[in-house]
Amino acid sequence: MGISFPNEARSFDDRNRCVRFTGYDGMFEIKFYLATEVLACEKSHRNASEADYLTAFDALRPRILKAATSAYSKARSSAITLDLAHFR
């Protein structure tokens, strides 16, 4: 079985400056952390709000899920942080 993303929920973690979302490999939950540097917001990173980051995430969701799938297939970890390197 491969990873799937049936739940579209995502949340912004201001303390760690990332967007969190989950995937599932069968019954196992995989936590993903997307660094804010990946999300090109109109505003500078200092002035971008939670809503700005979540809107950017939604706009890039297909590309983010593709990168998450690729990262999971290599790492097979229960927690994966995605940064710019995952999108090159």
The span from the CA of 64 to the CA of 57, in Å, is 8
User: What pLDDT does 20 receive?
Assistant: 98
Instruction: Extract the residue ranges of the chain whose pLDDT is less than 70.
Output: 1, 41-46
User: What pLDDT does 54 receive?
Assistant: 95
The span from the CA of 71 to the CA of 15, in Å, is 23
User: What pLDDT does 18 receive?
Assistant: 95
User: What pLDDT does 80 receive?
Assistant: 98
Question: Is 46 exposed, middle or buried (CB count within 10 Å of its CB: 0-12, 13-18, 19+)?
Answer: exposed
pLDDT digits over 59-84, tens only? 999 999 999 999 999 999 999 999 99
User: Whole-model pTM above 0.95?
Assistant: no
User: What pLDDT does 72 receive?
Assistant: 97
Full set of structural domains in the chain with CATH: 3-87 (3.30.160.140)
